[in-house]
Amino acid sequence: MTYKLLFVCLGNICRSPAAENIMNHLIQEKGLENVIFCDSAGTSNYHIGYPPDQRMISTLKSRNLPTQGQARQFEVSDFTEFDLILAMDTSNYQSILSLDVQGSYQDKVKLMCDFATRHSFKEVPDPYFGGDAGFNTVVDLLLDSCEGLLDYVLRQKNISRFN
């Protein structure tokens, strides 16, 4: 059975598609494409249908990472569709939990930085209004967090890293 991860930020054009692409890259490196599935979404409807931000695409490409994606908005059905929902910051986290009216899925929602092992950030900062340094910081943080997240998922599902 496939383990499904959903990465969520505000607009789904910077942080969450970057996390999705980084995680898919790590999954592919380990040959786990049939075991773990990733998607991303935004809590807002600002950019539905748009590709990732051009600055994020450039930053990912500079590190030979994939750059796919099309923005969509988080939906209540995502609670049942995904095994783990990863919010980029506490605002996104609260927005997601506010849609869980019954409180049935709170254990599925985590902060992305909870999985970082080399950085002390508590949230993935939004680089949208900043310069190149902000996008690089986000990719560094997401690489760290995605590696930690992959280790977590493999332990939870008792999957060998090298299938």
Has 113 been annotated as catalytic? no
Mind giving me the DSSP string for the chain? --EEEEEEESSSSSHHHHHHHHHHHHHHHTT-TTTEEEEEEESS-TTTTPPSPHHHHHHHHTTT--------B--TTHHHH-SEEEESSHHHHHHHHHT-TT--SGGGEEEGGGG-SS---SS----TTS-HHHHHHHHHHHHHHHHHHHHHHHHHTT--S--
Has 126 been annotated as catalytic? yes
The catalytically annotated residue of 9, 14, 113, 146 is 9
User: How remote is the C-alpha of 129 from its chain's centroid?
Assistant: 20
The catalytically annotated residue of 15, 72, 144, 146 is 15
The catalytically annotated residue of 14, 126, 144, 146 is 126
Has 132 been annotated as catalytic? no
Q: Write the CB contacts of 137 (distance below 8 Å, at least 6 apart in sequence).
A: 125, 127
- Could you list the active site residues? 9, 15, 126
